[in-house]
Amino acid sequence: MVEKFNHLRIEDNGNYVICYLSNPPTHTLTSYGVNEIHAFLDQIEKRDDLRVLAFTGDGENVFIKHYEVGELANTAERNLETKKDKQDPKELHAFHTMLLRLRDLDAIVVAGINGNTAGGGCEFSLGCDLRIMADGNFLIGLPETSVGILPGGGGTQRLSRLIGSSRALDLILHAQLLSPKEAFDLGIINKLVSQVSFNQELISYCEDLSNRAPIALQQVKKIIHQGLEMTLEESLLVEQKAFDVTMNSKDAARAMRALLNTQENIEDVSEFKWEGE
């Protein structure tokens, strides 16, 4: 399906793909790794059969440790040496555009957090649609203020949208790292799974999503992300348009008629074969 990468290992399962992030021994995310993910997305975006894309760590008990601090320190020192003028940025950097591409994918993007993750690793997970995490002796968070910087990969914006500005401020200002249970209780993590059976739990999670109505899931993802930037009236119009898309799909017509012809409750209908049309 895809070419081989140095920092990515791709497992193609048809309707869902799992991308294993690998950079031993540090398990950090680097600019090289970001560029590889962009190249991977160049290929993924061409697929019309993909329903779920998951990212997880290839290392033991670590998702992405953090963004490579050495790169950031070198940049800071270079700025001081050259007395680089402070100018407002004119365009988003590659880390931002990478996560925006994940947002704009039709496929549902899952972060399979198999262990510790902080800083840029946590920000990467926040850029995914859903997050499941191994319930072990792990930590997750945005501790950048402890080294004099701030979460520069979207963490301040995505975390505040996810859990509210006051809670996000408290966590980021105090550089607080959370246990999986604490992150789940705050709504940062969608599901906690067994550390022992994490890989199988991730596969099951992806399979469940990939077996659901693809057009409906695509539209839900699209309008929730779009609606965050709109007034209620504007977002309701977007929802109405998306509802019309689903109501003009063969999948929906067949599924609703099948439901009427069975004795099952709507929450029990799970065997319907979705064609994506």
Dihedral-angle region of residue 187 (phi above 0 means left; psi in -120 to 50 means alpha; beta otherwise): left
Of the spans 93-102, 246-255, 266-275, which averages the highest pLDDT? 93-102
Q: Which domains does the chain have, with CATH numbers?
A: 8-210 (3.90.226.10), 214-268 (1.10.12)
d(CA 23, CA 29) in angstroms, rounded, equals 7
Handedness of CA 85, 90, 95, 99 (dihedral sign): positive
In which band, very low, low, confident or very high, does the pLDDT at 122 lie, cut at 50, 70 and 90? very high
CA dist 14 → 48, 144, 210, 211 (Å): 11, 38, 10, 11
Sheet strands side by side (includes 117-118): 117-118, 140-141, 177-178
Tell me the backbone φ, ψ of residue 225, rounded to 5 degrees. Answer: -65, -45
CA angle 190, 192, 193 (to 5 degrees): 135
Q: Is the pLDDT of residue 271 over 90?
A: no
Spatial separation of the C-alpha atoms in residues 234 and 236, rounded to whole Å: 5
Q: What is the CA radius of gyration of the chain?
A: 20
- Residues forming beta bridges with residue 109, ordered by sequence position: 53
Question: For 162-188, how does the pLDDT look when each residue is reduced to its tens digit (9 = 90+)?
Answer: 999 999 999 999 999 999 999 999 999
Residue from 115, 159, 127, 129 nearest 27 by CA: 115
Q: CA quadruple 188, 191, 194, 196: dihedral positive or negative?
A: negative
The pair of three-digit structure tokens given for residue 249, joined into one six-digit string: 């799909």
Q: What is the mean pLDDT of the chain?
A: 92
pLDDT at residue 268 in the model: 61
Residue 266: what are its φ and ψ, rounded to 5°?
A: -60, -35
Q: Which helix (H) or strand (E) holds 232?
A: helix 232-247
Distances from the Cα of 162 to the Cαs of 115, 139, 158, 232, 259, in angstroms?
21, 18, 6, 18, 35
pLDDT digits (tens, 9 = 90+) for 225-253: 999 999 999 999 999 999 999 999 988 88
Output 252 or 157, whichever has higher pLDDT: 157
16-21: strand order across its sheet: 8-12, 16-21, 52-57, 108-113, 130-134, 191-193
Cα–Cα distance between 13 and 34 in angstroms, integer?
A: 23
**pLDDT of 180:** 98
User: Could you tell me which residue, 253 or 63, shows the higher pLDDT?
Assistant: 63
